[in-house]
Amino acid sequence: MATTAAPDPRRPENPDDPRGIRAFFALSPDAEVRETLATLGRDVARRCRGRAVSPENAHLTLAFVGDVTKGVLPVLEAVGAAAPKAGFVVSFDSLGAWRASGVAWIAPAILPPALLTLHSTLTSALGKAGFELETRPFRPHVTLARRCLQPLPRAHCPPILWRADKLYLVGSELRSEGPVYRNLAAWDLMLRN
């Protein structure tokens, strides 16, 4: 008698199913940094003949999980709750673009050790929980513009200091006008006395 494997709750059979969520862990900037990134994004989009990212979508992805069912959210929340609680500051000071994808970005030239620890802790915990993650190297960046028709040469820019004091579990919905993000859960990274 043939047995059928039970569906994996981490991977919906139909990603378009309204019960499914495209999830990732991220850092999100405060209002001042968000506005600075938005201004820079509009300038970069103009120079690259691209489309600036909406200010409310500014984030730094730490670990992309992918399409999951809502039933697996408690597992993801447990991973987020167990993340290191040390906040840090990231200095974004390098502009560049990925020509093949038409994406212009800003990134830190120097990666804070706490950022690398947070990323590796999350990816390790997600792997232990059975999630299949991307294998490409971690390249922390913030997307400034998409659909760029003209390349943006790599360059240094005045640093934008981003205080990372909260970790977010984010759900995204892909729409024709671009992705829409909503925070599903959040955890303070700064220890309180």
- For residues 53-57, average pLDDT: 91
Model confidence over 77-112: pLDDT tens digits? 999 999 998 999 999 999 999 988 899 999 999 999
Does residue 14 lie in a domain region?
A: no
Residue 148: give its domain's CATH number: 3.90.1140.10
Does residue 193 lie in a domain region?
A: no
Question: In which domain, by residue range, is 153 found?
Answer: 22-70+81-188
Does residue 5 lie in a domain region?
A: no
Lowest mean pLDDT among 14-18, 133-137, 166-170: 14-18
Q: What is the pLDDT of residue 7?
A: 39
Does residue 60 lie in a domain region?
A: yes
Does residue 63 lie in a domain region?
A: yes
Does residue 75 lie in a domain region?
A: no
Q: Global pTM? A: 0.85
Does residue 173 lie in a domain region?
A: yes
Model confidence over 129-149: pLDDT tens digits? 999 888 889 999 999 999 999
Measure the CA–CA gap between 150 and 47, rounded to whole angstroms: 8
42, pLDDT greater than 60: yes
Measure the CA–CA gap between 106 and 99, rounded to whole angstroms: 14
Does residue 10 lie in a domain region?
A: no
Q: What is the pLDDT of residue 135?
A: 84
Total domains present in the chain? 1
